[in-house]
Amino acid sequence: MKIRASIGTLSVLGLSRIKMSAVPTTAYFLQYSEEGCLGECTYCTQSHINLFRKDYLSRVIWPECELEQVVVALSKSSTFKRVCLQTVIRRGFLSEVINFTRVLRELGVHLPLSIAVTPLPKGMLETLKSLGVNRVGIGLDVVTPELFLKVRKPYSWSVYWSFIDKALEVFGKATVHLIFGLGEKLIDFISTMASLVSRGADVALFPYTPVGNLRVSKRPELKVYRVIQAIRYLLTEGYNLDDIVKLSGHKLLVKDVIYDVPLEAFLTSGCPNCNRPFYTESPLRIYNYPSFNLLIRDKFKVYEQLNEGVFKLSEG
């Protein structure tokens, strides 16, 4: 069975050679499709409507390989703490997901397993759980129904929210992906994060990353992204949105509790043990820190960026 694996994953497994300043702690896989995904998301390199190499997802190269060969190498590795399969919409993709889980178990890989997938019936979620999947990732990506239509997400806004609730019911937890920088209002982004966390979901934050000729928006300001990361962390720690921010006219004011966030607020967010090294950024301009070593190195710079972001918002 053909599959794609991130170049960092292959490097850890000794199947590729690249220089890495941080190694992935999750083994990342992507379903193979020559034509890409049948979804028409305007911002995604995998969409069949975008004339972009299909061995890319965001900034990362995903070489084609044989699943069995990679899984044999994975079964001998002690580096990874989780396996993640990113699906695409195409004919037969669900049967391939089931085969993927079967090959993992048959070849001795029993790590926690995440599947990033578009909306499915509840019965299929239960089937995936019975096969060893313990978390689903859901690419909601945008934060309003208007943006959902604008970027041409598949299905509908209401179907995605219903799917989030089904995933929470079946698995107890779900990871919902949100991309900051696709043209949303800041208050809408924060409010959607709060709604997801209140339901029991984990939020995986991504900054929008223009690649090649695929530039539907600008890369978000790093200092404002730091504020978003801090707010996400506080929400997951049990704070209400009103404890963190308030509206003053047209300004969004951030309360002093924002300065109490620990360093881990700026690590990659997502499923347990997901660190996505440099998936959305270069090592020279890090949005999501993939390791504490890199974060500790930059801690003064990170808090300075947070302070600048708070100041920018307070100035309007």
Please give the domain boundaries of the chain with CATH numbers for all domains. Answer: 2-314 (3.20.20.70)
To 5 degrees, how large is the angle CA 137–CA 231–CA 45? 40
Read off the tokens for 138: 């859901």
DSSP H helical segments within the chain, as ranges? 7-12, 67-75, 93-106, 122-130, 145-150, 157-171, 186-199, 222-236, 241-244, 292-297, 299-314
Task: Tell me the per-residue pLDDT of 79-131, one tens digit each, with 9 for 90 and over.
Answer: 999 999 999 999 999 999 999 999 999 999 999 999 999 999 999 999 999 99
Output the tens digit of pLDDT for each of the chain's 316 residues.
999 999 999 999 999 988 888 999 999 999 999 999 999 999 999 999 998 889 999 999 999 999 999 999 999 999 999 999 999 999 999 999 999 999 999 999 999 999 999 999 999 999 999 999 999 999 999 999 999 999 999 999 999 999 999 999 999 999 999 999 999 999 999 999 999 999 999 999 999 999 888 888 899 999 999 999 999 999 999 999 999 999 877 778 999 999 999 999 999 999 999 999 999 998 999 999 999 999 999 999 999 999 999 988 877 5
User: What's the pTM?
Assistant: 0.96
pLDDT of residue 316: 57
